Chain A
Amino acid sequence: MLQYLALAAILFAIGVFGVLTRRNAIGILMSLELMFNAANINLVVFNKYIGPDNLIGQIFALFVVVIAAAEAVVGLAIVLLLYRNWRGIDVDHINIMKW
């Protein structure tokens, strides 16, 4: 169990690193998917080792997968819109919502 949780922690840290360092908005979305997967591994591991009498953790992980797909759809639509309006998706230069 502990090795699964350690793996999930490492995967989450890699995702955090990607979010902090990528310039490209699509790269940030990919790192977000890594973080979602780390959280899902945690849910499934706790389901198997802490509460194995039913499958609530797996159902929750399933909902997380679906919400992550919806997030990717909306995020990529925003990225394409930014690309069309500014000819670039470098997040360091996108600051129109900052005052």
Chain B
Amino acid sequence: MEMVANFISDVSANPLFYLLAFVTIASALCVVTLKNIFHSALCLILTLFSVAGLYILLHAEFLAVAQVLIYVGAVSILLIFAIMLTSQLASRKIVQSNEQVTVAIFVCFLFLLVSIGSLFNTYWNGINAPLPDNNILTIGILLMTDYVLPFEVVSIVMLAALIGAIVLAREERS
């Protein structure tokens, strides 16, 4: 009873987080369970948007914008293109899930039990200091000084992925 009361007071304390969390989890469940793969791609877009909202709640504004640009703008469009190119598989008649559903539910519940149990039984040595004021400025300075090597390596990885995708998807000429 006390836990429920605590939870209700927590919900009324920060309703925006719980709204976003509810939208995230509901649309994520739609992503993995809907019969029509195109509908689950649309639900994925909703999930990614609400995760961007969570980033804004956590004061990670630049990451939220990057999430909307990269995930919602690029990756989802790519997924929808792939679904449309393989369109006759997206029809309702084909079963989209295999026969491991009950085992998978069991495994996921076990995972959740272990991870959330360890989460609540760990002492987190949190510091209640504010984040740096100017989010974008700090990220830019860090990317150009301390993290310039990973930044360049990531750009090479992107280039390699681009060329790899073109080589893979090209029609073979005989």
Interface residues of A (CB under 8 A from B): 1-7, 9-18, 20-24, 26-27, 29-31, 33-34, 37, 40-41, 44-45, 47-56, 58-59, 61-63, 65-74, 76-81, 83, 88-90, 92
Q: Contacts A2-B120, A70-B157, A76-B79; is A17 near B47 (CB within 8 Å)?
A: no
Interface residues of B (CB under 8 A from A): 10, 17, 21, 24-25, 28-29, 31-32, 37, 40-41, 44, 47-48, 51, 54-55, 58-60, 62-63, 66-67, 70-71, 74-75, 78-79, 81-83, 85-86, 89, 94-98, 100-101, 103-105, 107-109, 111-112, 115-116, 119-120, 124-132, 135, 138-139, 142-143, 147, 150, 154, 157-158, 160-162, 164-166, 168-169
Q: Is the CB of A26 within 8 A of B107?
A: no
Q: Is the CB of A48 within 8 A of B59?
A: yes
Q: Is the CB of A17 within 8 A of B105?
A: yes
* Cβ distance B40 to chain A, nearest Cβ, rounded Å: 6
Q: Complex Cα distance A80/B96, Å?
A: 18
Query: Which of A20, A51, A62, A65 touches B104 (beta carbons < 8 Å)?
Result: A20
Q: Is the CB of A72 within 8 A of B142?
A: no
* Cβ distance A77 to chain B, nearest Cβ, rounded Å: 4
Residue of B nearest to A53 (CB): B129
Interface SS majority for chain A:
helix
8 cross-chain CB contacts under 8 A = A9-B112, A14-B28, A37-B71, A48-B60, A51-B127, A52-B130, A54-B138, A65-B63
Residue of B nearest to A71 (CB): B161
| Residues of chain B within 8 A of A77, CB atoms compared | 164-166, 168-169
Q: Is the CB of A3 within 8 A of B10?
A: yes
- 11 further interface pairs, Cβ-Cβ under 8 Å (given A9-B116, A14-B25): A9-B115, A10-B25, A23-B96, A44-B63, A51-B127, A53-B132, A55-B131, A55-B132, A55-B139, A76-B78, A77-B169
Residue of B nearest to A20 (CB): B104
Query: Which of A40, A73, A88 touches B162 (beta carbons < 8 Å)?
Result: A73
